[in-house]
Structure formats: structure tokens, C-alpha cells
Amino acid sequence: MTSSPSTSALRKPQRRRGELGPVARVGTHVTLSVASLIALFPVIWLVYLSLGPDKDDYLHPGGIAAKATLDNYWFVLTNTAFFDWLWSTMVVAGGTTLFGVMSAATTGYAVSRMRFPGHRPLMWVLLLTQAFPIAVLIVPMYEIFSRLRLVDSHLGLILVNCTTIVPYCSWLLKGYFDTIPIEIDEAGMIDGLTPFGTFWRLILPLARPGLAVAAFYAFITAFAEVAFASTFLLDDSKYTFAVGLQSFVSEHDAQWNLMAATAVLIAIPVTIFFYIVQRHVVTGLTAGGVKG
């Protein structure tokens, strides 16, 4: 892809390191443009189809341009349970975030700063629980929740989401606390703070960006959770978006146009939100693992 700079440097000595020759530059732009197009196309296509008024329009996409309309959006907003789903999603995702981050913060600090018997096993448990396939817990959870009447409730779903979010947030926050210099803790101790006081008054305020990333990740994960939500929520008005969107497409009837419009309505705010914070998410996701 890149022409060898050592040879091109002979031809054009004024070119700086890391700058590309014309062929390589065109090649790079072509490759990146094609990749961007592939990344973009399904989303654009969905937006385009959402403008077609008929449920079979996706089979004749050429006709949509002539009769494009926002009717689908209007229908979704006024005649479906869209706002119920919005509320459910906010309750589940918000509840998971709040509970997950709050219970994980002190643990993240403890495993980052203190060595105690059980430290390694705890780290292992935290790592492993994040990796649990949904199939491990879904059956016993369903059985237990049926007994406790937590099936078809938002609380039940919040608890289920916490099984992966809590260990994940602990791990992520540990990674963040690791980047805060230990000298700050020492200074706090010398000034007579207890370990908890150090955590609460010195470290937590400094860890705000880390907390934000953990919260954001928890929110997005709970927002996009499909398996448990599809199984545990039974009542149409309690669906989260991930379940509600499926309800447009059943075996008997597929209202692709309405599905597309709903999908676009869901995707726009989440995508914007994601773009605002994405830079931090990547570092957060990989940081914890590397430092094991």
C-alpha cells in the first residue's frame, strides 16, 4: 500500500517522513473511501427505506424517491408504543448504569490500590463474569425470577444486566484508578485520611472521566441488550427498544417500513451520544485488560 519511503526519498528528497507518494496517496484514499462506503451504506439504506410508505417498498427501492414521505415516522410516533418503549429503555438502562457504577467504584479502587488475600481470585471472577455467555445464566435466572415474580419487570432486567455490568465497571474503573498516581493516596494518608476518605475525597473526584466512561458503557450495553430483554419482557408496553423493534417483524407480518422508521428514530440520538464519547470508550475498554 505504501511505496517504500527509502526509494521515494531518493527521488524527492524534500518529502517528509510519513508523507505519501502520489500513487500511495490515491490508493489510500480509494481504499478508505470504499471502506467508508461499506460502513455507511446499510445505515443510509435504512434511512432511505424508512421514507417509503409501503411495507413492500424495500423490494422496489427505485420507486421510493418519487413518493418519499415522513408518514412512517408520524405513524410510529402516534400509533405505536414508541414512547412506552422509550420510557422502558431509559428505566432499564438508567437503572443498570446507576446501580452498576455505584457498586463497582469502591471495588475498582480496592483492587487497584490494595493487595489482600483473595485479590487474584477476585480479579479472575471479575474478568470471567464479564465473559459469561448469556446461555449460562438465562435459564436459572428465568426460573428464579418466575418464583420471585420478577419476570416481565424492569427491575428484573436491571438485575440481570448488572451481572455483566458490575464486573465490567469494576475492571474498567480499576484500570482508570491505576492511572492516578499513588502519590496522591500517600499525601492523603499523611494528612490523616482513612483509605476510604482518600478514595472519597481525593480519588473519586479525579476519576470523573473514568466514571463517565463506565456509566456510558453500562448505559449502551443495557440499551442494546437483546437476549434477556427478549425473553424476560412479555408485555408490549414494557418492551425496551431492542425488543420493540423486533415486534414489527414477526413470522406472519413484516412491516419493514415502520421498522426502518423506528430504527432511525432510535439510532439517531444513540449514535450522536456515541460519537461524543467514543474516544474515551476505546481506551477504557482496552486499558483494563492490558494491565491485568
* Residue located via cell numbers 505519501: 20
Quick one: 29 or 67, whose CB is closer to another protein? 29
CA dihedral (224, 226, 231, 235) in degrees, to 10, reads 50
- 214, 101 Cβ separation under 8 angstroms: yes
The C-alpha cell of 256 is what? 419493514
* CB 208, min distance to another protein, A: 19
Quick one: 80 or 112, whose CB is closer to another protein? 112
Quick one: 47 or 91, whose CB is closer to another protein? 47
Nearest to residue 209, comparing CAs of 113, 123, 283?
283
Q: Please give the Cα distance from 256 to 260 (Å, whole number).
A: 6
* CB 82, min distance to another protein, A: 14
Nearest to residue 107, comparing CAs of 169, 161, 16, 154?
169
* CB 124, min distance to another protein, A: 9
* CB 119, min distance to another protein, A: 8
Phi and psi based region of residue 193 (left: phi greater than 0; alpha: psi -120 to 50; beta: remaining): beta
Phi, psi of 254 (to 5 degrees): -125, 110
Q: Please give the Cα distance from 282 to 267 (Å, whole number).
A: 20
Q: Reduced to 3 states, what is the DSSP secondary structure of residue 181?
A: coil
Quick one: 251 or 253, whose CB is closer to another protein? 251
Quick one: 39 or 66, whose CB is closer to another protein? 39
Q: Please give the Cα distance from 106 to 175 (Å, whole number).
A: 13
Quick one: 167 or 210, whose CB is closer to another protein? 167
Quick one: 237 or 278, whose CB is closer to another protein? 278
* CB 129, min distance to another protein, A: 6
- 266, 245 Cβ separation under 8 angstroms: yes
* CB 52, min distance to another protein, A: 11
**CA 93, 95, 101, 104 torsion: positive or negative?**
negative
Quick one: 71 or 178, whose CB is closer to another protein? 178
* Residue located via cell numbers 428465568: 142
* CB 24, min distance to another protein, A: 9
What is the length of the chain? 292
* CB 275, min distance to another protein, A: 6
The alpha helices in 179-255, defined as continuous H runs, are 182-190, 195-197, 204-206, 208-223, 227-232, 241-244
